[in-house]
Amino acid sequence: MKIETRLEFKKYLKLVYRQSFLNGKMIFFALLGIAMFVVPLLHFLGFNIPYDNPPYFQLFLGFFIVFIIPILVFYSAKRNFNSNGRLQEKITYDFTEETIKITGETFNSEMDWSKIYRIKELKNWVLIYQSKLIMNIIYKESFGKDIEEFRELVIKKNVKTNIKKNN
Q: Which pLDDT tens digit goes with each residue over 51-80?
A: 778 888 888 999 999 999 999 999 999 999
Please, which pLDDT band fits residue 92 given cuts at 50, 70 and 90? Answer: very high
- Burial string for 93-128 (b: 16+ CB within 10 Å, else e) reads bebeeeebebbbeeeeeeeebeebeebebeeebbbb
What region does 2 belong to: left with phi over 0, alpha with psi -120 to 50, or beta? beta
Query: Can you tell me whether residue 3 is helix, strand or coil?
Result: strand
Supply the mean pLDDT for the chain: 90
Give the Cα separation of 49 and 47 in Å (integer).
Answer: 6
Q: Would the pTM count as exceeding 0.85? A: no
Q: Of 23-27, 58-62, 127-131, 152-156, which range is least confident? A: 23-27
